[in-house]
Amino acid sequence: MEPTENPGRERILARMRRALTVPSPKHRASGERNLVFAPIGHPLDRFQQECKENNTECRTVPDREASAAAIAQILASLPGGEVFVQDSSALREMAPAWPRVHNLKWSSDGPPGEASQATITHAEALVALTGSVLVSAECGGRGASIVAPIHIVVAGLDQLVPDLESAFSRQRERGTIARNSFLCLITGSSRTADIEKILVMGAHGPRRLIVVLSLQ
Amino acid sequence: MSTAGEQFLRQAAEKSSDLRHRKLIRHAIDQYSGSVVRGRARFLDWEEARQRSHEIKWEAVNHLDRYLLEFEQNVKARGARVFWAETSEDARRYIADLATQRNVRTVVKSKSMVTEEIHLNPALEKLGIEVFETDLGEFIVQLRDEPPYHIVTPAMHLTRGDIAALFKEKLGNVDTDDPQQLVAAARIALRKAFFSAEMGITGANFLVADSGMIAVTSNEGNARLCSSLPRIHVAIAGIEKVIPRADDLAILWPVLATAGTGQPITCYSTLIGGPRSANEIDGPEEFHVILLDNGRSDLLADPEQREVLNCIRCGACLNVCPVYRTVGGHTYGTTYQGPIGSVLTPHLRGIKEFQHLSSASSLCGACTETCPVKIDLHHHLLHNRRNAVETKNRSWRERMAFKIWRWSMLGAGRFALFGALSRAGLRAINGLGLAGTVFDPGRAWTKDRAPLRVPGKSFRALWQEQETKPGKEQDGAD
């Protein structure tokens, strides 16, 4: 399995180079550039509207204290069992406000188990255009946003960006793309329409995606 | 053993008269068409989005060696291993050897057309490895031991009743045809596999050169579980999947989703570069990327059809194709069906055996019109027809007929002579009542149709009469 065992590599490269010595016809000339998407005037309004359409539950709260209370309310409706939480100082501060019926598993103690009831993580960014949540490996790992039936995202208004371009450029500046082996733009909860094109929510991933958005 | 062309004709005739099948496919595609109209309306300028997608892929494909090397360098720096596979056999062997060396007993797979192309599952199963398709549609067709019916919707040809009966037989404990509960049954059946598999295999929608990451989209989230839980992740993609920059995804992700299903963006648009790094909580210990050629570099060498490599496998051309909708996905007998399959397959598997696909088209151009990366699909079907003729893969009778036809068309006298002979011949056949019988050279046409009516005079004779007629109306108002 060493790279030296790959004689095909040079042959494929040689074939490609030979092939590309003959140029392909010039691609259709494009005149002036038009905008692909309409500019987004009110990112928060757009984000909330998109969430409604893609089945993300967006709960806006005035501040961090209210975030903790909103999470407590969601957890109170769940049966006991493991709840996985990204280990961050902010979430550590919120945890005392949550009901005691759950066994909190912090990400510093390993990934979420197969039977996790819910996961609670931060996000890298929120995207207004599509009502999406961008997470990385640093948001509790790869499994944190996919393994449990409920994923709760704790975010702030300063994380909201208008579109995908701004999300990418911000993450590049911060080194998120270079630093993480995993990033995912999550839009709504897991779904399938493989049976007669009928939409069913909750295929292999979370049935519910909840964004607790602090407006502070 | 009949040829692929004969099989196609036989199955096409069967499927096009299967009314249940037609109703099912029409229903599914009507649903799709409605979503796509709504999806496109979300763009301020859908045509601009197509143009930009076309330009991104054009740039990548026309500098393929450069971007692949950039991708390789960057993804290796993240700890991935990269293998370049010249053929299906190379790719299969690499994965099989890896699985054997690492004692892999169970593999979970997310949907990947390239793994269908290289016939991966039988190769792994021969080694005693259990392979689970985890996309619901793929899981269903795997249980039925069938190839996918459609690039994006593998089980489009089945009703919930068919699926309920299948699950009852294969999974037991399922006694419902409610889609919600059928999905739940599949989730439970696959859950154990996800958590016990040693290897996850995914495709890649894009290979992002500047970041050294692969982009994988999935609505169900199964591709994410495949690339998060097992200790080895293998991703396999055609060499044409590379794109220059991560920023390109800001266009390509929404365009792929809209063209594929009408969604604004796929539920999980994931970027993966490398195995779990030292400070990360989870993820595989090993990450392998296989870059598959398998005939693609030959297509690259054809400047006329090079843009076929721009394809992002959204399946839109299948959905709009009147031929696909009538004959169905399995009739093609190929990994890739519909217009893109008809264009691509002769390049990947030989024009001699698959030239018939180029004729399975009405040349209506709906595929070209819908293609989100602006591949001139119906003209490429024509190019393939021409190539098939030029490589002398047609029967001697057909070649002879066209030679005579060409010669007769090249001179006015010859043309008149052949016209007169043809009219006389037709009149004789009709007069003797032979039309449609085995003695009729035009039987292929006349056996199911009324005999051709033979005009009394040729067009040329009529024209000359008109020209010489006294008092001819100049404006031709009639």
The domain limits of chain B are 42-298, 409-468
| Tens digit of each residue's pLDDT (9 = 90 or more) over B32-44 | 999 999 999 999 9
- pLDDT exceeds cutoff 70 at B474: no
Ranges of beta strands (E only) in A27-86 are 56-61, 81-85
At a CB cut-off of 8 Å and minimum separation 6, what does B389 contact? none
Select B42-298's CATH number: 3.40.800.10, 3.30.420.40, 1.10.3470.10, 3.40.50.10420.
3.40.50.10420
- pLDDT interval class at B102 (50, 70, 90): very high
For chains A and B, count residue pairs whose Cβ atoms are closer than 8 Å. 269
- Of all residues in chain B, the one with the smallest CA distance to A137 is B280
Q: Are B61 and B240 in contact (CB under 8 A)?
A: yes
Calculate ∠ Cα B377-B378-B380, nearest 5°. 65
The CATH class that applies to domain A42-214 reads alpha beta
Best residue of B297, B305, B375, B379 to probe chain A, by most A CBs closer than 10 Å: B297
The model's pTM = 0.90
- pLDDT interval class at B88 (50, 70, 90): very high
For residue A9, the Cα-to-chain-centroid distance in whole angstroms is 35
Residues of B in contact with A140 (CB under 8 A): 281
- Of all residues in chain A, the one with the smallest CA distance to B190 is A204
The domain limits of chain A are 42-214
| Tens digit of each residue's pLDDT (9 = 90 or more) over B287-312 | 999 999 999 999 999 999 999 999 99
> Residue A48 corresponds to which tokens in the numbers above?
């909330």
Question: Between B42, B261, B300, which is nearest A19 by CB?
Answer: B300
- Computed over every residue of chain B, the mean pLDDT equals 93
In the block, tokens 């040079």 appear at: A10
SS3 B224: helix
How far is residue B282's CA from residue B276's CA, in Å, rounded to a whole number? Answer: 6
Q: In B171-282, which residue ranges form alpha helices assigned H by DSSP?
A: 179-196, 222-226, 249-260
Flag if B191 and A203 touch (Cβ within 8 Å): no
- pLDDT exceeds cutoff 50 at B123: yes
CA–CA min distance A73, chain B (Å)? 26
CA–CA min distance B392, chain A (Å)? 24
Identify the pLDDT of residue B477. 44
Best residue of A87, A139, A142 to probe chain B, by most B CBs closer than 10 Å: A142
Identify the pLDDT of residue B441. 82
Flag if A8 and B194 touch (Cβ within 8 Å): no
Best residue of A27, A36, A84, A105 to probe chain B, by most B CBs closer than 10 Å: A36
| Tens digit of each residue's pLDDT (9 = 90 or more) over A116-174 | 999 999 999 999 999 999 999 999 999 999 999 999 999 999 999 999 999 999 999 99
Question: Between B183, B229, B269, which is nearest A203 by CB?
Answer: B183
At a CB cut-off of 8 Å and minimum separation 6, what does B105 contact? B128, B129, B130, B198
CA–CA min distance B8, chain A (Å)? 26
Q: Lowest-pLDDT range, B128-137, B237-246, B468-477?
A: B468-477
Residues of A in contact with B28 (CB under 8 A): 196-197
Strand arrangement, sheet containing A81-85: A56-61, A208-214, A150-156, A118-121, A81-85, A102-106
Identify the pLDDT of residue B397. 85
Strand arrangement, sheet containing B106-109: B81-85, B286-292, B232-238, B199-202, B106-109, B130-133
* Sign of the dihedral through C-alpha B131, B256, A190, B277: positive
* Single-letter amino acid, residue B444: A
Best residue of A194, A196, A198, A200 to probe chain B, by most B CBs closer than 10 Å: A194
- pLDDT exceeds cutoff 80 at A1: no
SS3 sequence, B229-251?
Answer: CCCEEEEEEEHHHEECCHHHHHH
* Sign of the dihedral through C-alpha A52, A57, A62, A64: negative
CA–CA min distance A110, chain B (Å)? 6
* Sign of the dihedral through C-alpha A66, A67, A68, A71: positive
Radius of gyration of chain B measured on its C-alpha atoms: 27
Closest CA to A195 of B135, B341, B298, B109: B135
Identify the pLDDT of residue B452. 80
Identify the pLDDT of residue A3. 46
Closest CA to B290 of B124, B106, B89, B151: B89
- pLDDT interval class at A97 (50, 70, 90): very high
> Residue B243 corresponds to which tokens in the numbers above?
């794109």
Mean pLDDT, to the nearest integer, of A174-202? 95
CA–CA min distance A153, chain B (Å)? 15
Closest CA to A24 of B309, B333, B29, B454: B309
Mean pLDDT, to the nearest integer, of A35-61? 97
| Tens digit of each residue's pLDDT (9 = 90 or more) over B356-382 | 999 999 999 999 999 999 999 999 999
ipTM over 0.90: yes
Closest CA to A146 of B194, B181, B198, B109: B194
- Of all residues in chain A, the one with the smallest CA distance to B185 is A203
Ranges of beta strands (E only) in chain A are 56-61, 81-85, 102-106, 118-121, 125-127, 132-136, 150-156, 160-161, 182-186, 191-192, 200-201, 208-214
How far is residue B412's CA from residue B458's CA, in Å, rounded to a whole number? Answer: 13
| CB-CB neighbours of A42 under 10 Å | 11
Question: Between B101, B250, B272, which is nearest A181 by CB?
Answer: B272
Identify the pLDDT of residue B473. 53
How far is residue B163's CA from residue B137's CA, in Å, rounded to a whole number? Answer: 10
Flag if B254 and A177 touch (Cβ within 8 Å): no
- Of all residues in chain A, the one with the smallest CA distance to B154 is A194
In the block, tokens 């294969």 appear at: B170
